[in-house]
Each structure stands twice: as C-alpha cells, then as structure tokens.
Amino acid sequence: MKIRAERAELSGTIQVPGSKSHTIRALLLAALSDGTCNVKNPLCSADCLSTAAALPLIGAEVDIESCADSPVKNWIVKGAGKSVHLPSNVVDVGDSGSLLYFLSPIAATFEGWSVFTGDASIRTRPVHHVAEALNQLGAQATTAIPGSKSCPLIIKGPISPENKLVTGGTISSQYISGMMMAALRMKGTLEIELTDPKETPYLTMTQKWLEKVGVKADISPDFHHIKVTGPADIKAFDTVIPSDWEGVAFPLVATLITDSQILIEHVDSSGTQGDDEIVNILKQLGADIEWNREAETIVVRGQKKAADGIGRLTTENLKDGQLHVNLSGLPDAICAVAVAACFTEGTVYIEDIAGCRRKETDRIKVMVSELSKLGAELEEGEDYLIIHGHSPLNKDGSPNPDFKLHGTVVESYGDHRVAMSLSCLGLGLPSGEFITVKDAECCSVSFPDFYKTMNRLNAGFVELNSSDSVNV
C-alpha cells in the first residue's frame, strides 16, 4: 500500500507496542523452559509471529489467540523443557533476522541437521558469520548455495563449549545473543571473545534475560569477553514485555518537527533498551522532552507547543556547532535521527553505523537516496552519515528561507523503519507539500497498526490504493 503524509499538528495520548527484542527473547526462553509461561503485552508483529510459529518445531506449544482481538495481550507458551529437540522441519524465519540469529545456534546444540531459510529479504542478509562461529564450536555449518553468504543455512550439531569462540561482533550482536542462549544447553562454560563488539546494549538485554531465568552470564565492561555456563534447567516464568523504544522514536520525532504536544504512556524506564538514548540525542538539539521515569511517561512538545514557543532544533550550542552521535549501540535509530537532523539548524554526524548497511536494507544508502529526493543535503561514508540540516524556523520563530524540504514520492524498500521515518517526515513539511511512501505496509514487522495509532494523534495519514483512491 501507499501512505500519503502532509503537515499535521499532533495531540493526544498513545501507548507504543511491546518491544520486539524483548518479545522474541522471552518466547525462545519460554520454549526452553519446563512448564507454562505467560508472556504479557507481546509485540504482535510479523517477526514475533514468525518466532511463535517456529517454536513448535523444537517441541514447545504456543497459544497466540489473544493477538487478534483482545486489548490485553497474553501469549501462553508451554515450554518443551527436557523434551526440547532438533527442529522437526525446515525453519522459515520469514523476515526476522532476530529469529534466524537466535534460534540457529540453539538448533546447533542438537545432534543432527537443521535448515534455516526465510523470505527474499532474509536470503540477502549475511549469515556466513554465524556458520563460521558455529564451526569454531564443532558444528558443520555452511550456506546451501556455493559462494553465497546468505540463507539457506545448513547446520549439523552438536556444538560444544570446549573451544573459545572468537568472533568480530561487527556484523551484528544478534548471533552473539543466540550463542549466549545456546550455552544454556551446553555442558560447561561457553567463552566468547569479541574483537570488535557492536550493538552492545542488546548483549546486556540478553544478559538480563538469562539472569531473569536463573542463569549467570558474565560480560566484561568493554564487552570483549562473555561467559555463560550450562546446562541450565529453566523453570516456567511469567513476564510483561516493556514498550518498544525503537517504536517510541517515531512519534517522538514527528512531534518535534510539528506544532504538536503528545503524551506517550508506559514507556520502558528499565534501561534495558539502548534505544532510549535517543532522548538524550534529541535533547542535545534543544528538544522539549519531559521523561518521568517513575510514571513511565514522556511528554513531547514541538515547535509552537514547546516551552519557548518556537521549538527550534539546532546544533548552535554544541562544540564546533555540530552534533556527533555514535549509533553503534542503537543502529535501528538511524532513520529517526536522520529525519530529525533534516529539521535541525546545523550539521549532524551519525557515526559508527556500518552495521546499518546489513539490515533489511542498506539504511545508509537508502536514507541518502530518499532524503535527497526531498531536498535534504547529505553525505555518506562506509560507516557514517552526515546531514546538513536547516530548521524551518529562525531564532525569532520566523520562517527560515534556507529550509528547502519538499514533498515527493519515496520508496520504503520494504524496510519498516524507513517507511515509518519518511511518513513522519511528511508531517513536518510546509503546508501544501506531501509525501507518498510506497510499500508502507512493511511497518507491520515492528509496529502493527502504526498509521492507525498515529492517526489517533491526528497525524492524518491516508492510505491510497493503486488508483490513488482513499481507503482509510
């Protein structure tokens, strides 16, 4: 589908869905547990549904009926416990890199062969690093197509912790988390040495989940050394999935670039999601954001609704008049931060983001392509993105003639974060301009009903069919 977005003023209160990262970890650990687990407030997205569909292949039972209609989501997982087994069929992960990288090391702990594949997008994403890591631990792992670095992935286990795993960690942190969870089925201590760790907040998230189910996981302060000891018998547990900070980023930015004020409820204040750093990033630009950690709420005020009545984002008060932000720990924030930077007076450097080239799309290349169509000024390097932005407003609140963003038709490339960020950008365009985002339905991967949720804040997103008639 296509989504049309034009200038809007947001108001009201929303709650962002549960975290995808937390939901998938909870489901996998529940599947390994002995007993019945209740996973409350799960994210009912495509990736999480793919995970739920895969768990019966290793012996677990999953009831996700409440995903359909009930406002209170509670997925029930009957863990396989000691009866957990080698996947009984080919594992189709859909478009979920998390499921691929998490479950394949767990599957490698069993005697026998397992096969992992997915949709067209997954079959372009790298998996050779997973095979190399598993082979260090005694598996026979390879890609099915000679010379390919992508799925299908074929694995013969079992793996053993007798050898230390030495791997980069640059491509992704997800397979490292998978190895940590796989250690629960190994006899002995799995030692992992990361030569260049990235996305480290997600490793901390996995550590916290292992500790929650009673397993000690040690991570050195510099994230170069990880130890997890198995085998572990996991007892059944109940959990409530916190809100997704990756999802919070989009209404946050949409509010700041418009004359808006919103309240976001049930915000995760636990510190287990590195993406909450986006609040500090935006505040450095002068954003009016009030985060009440005890109440787990965020009030955001943009432009005329900001405390100073202008709400101008700028780098003028920073060193050398520039913002340098390292997103290696929160690579999924690149799209939202890039959009905010387009509405910021000054230059924003987004750095250490080479891993973003290996997500659902090459997000550096894609954001440069699509934002340039809208009149933004950008530069890219292998691991950085530079945005030379302009605020729509001068210091006195008058219109800034240097602000040149305009509407056009843009591509999402089937990437949910690209689609949501570009749609939100459309809300801040000058009156009379609008954006049409193609293949916008991909948002369901991480934020089901994103457009309907935003429309409850008066975003005014309009769904267009192939003949451009209005459906919503």
Which residues carry out catalysis? Answer: 332
Q: CA-to-CA distance for 400 and 392, rounded, in angstroms?
A: 5
> Are 167 and 192 within 8 A, CB to CB?
yes
Q: CA-to-CA distance for 283 and 277, rounded, in angstroms?
A: 10
Single-letter amino acid code for the residue at 424: C
Map residue 254 onto helix, strand or coil.
Answer: helix
Which residue, chain included where needed, has tokens 């945005």?
Answer: 387
Angle between helices 46-54 and 20-32 (to 10 degrees): 10
Q: CA-to-CA distance for 356 and 199, rounded, in angstroms?
A: 11
Q: How many CB atoms lie within 10 A of CB 259?
A: 18
Q: CA 284 → CA 5, 277, 303, 368, 462, distances in Å?
A: 27, 11, 16, 23, 33
Q: How many CB atoms lie within 10 A of CB 85?
A: 13
Which residue, chain included where needed, has tokens 């509407």?
Answer: 407
Single-letter amino acid code for the residue at 44: C
DSSP of 206-245: HHHHHHHTT--EEE-TTSSEEEEEE---PBP-EEEPPB-H
Q: How many CB atoms lie within 10 A of CB 472?
A: 11
Which residue, chain included where needed, has tokens 């768990």?
Answer: 55
> Are 144 and 154 within 8 A, CB to CB?
yes
Q: DSSP character for 269?
A: -
> Are 45 and 52 within 8 A, CB to CB?
no
| Neighbouring-strand partners of residue 263 | 13, 299
Q: Torsion over CA of 351, 356, 357 and 359, rounded to 10 degrees? A: 180
> Are 217 and 211 within 8 A, CB to CB?
yes
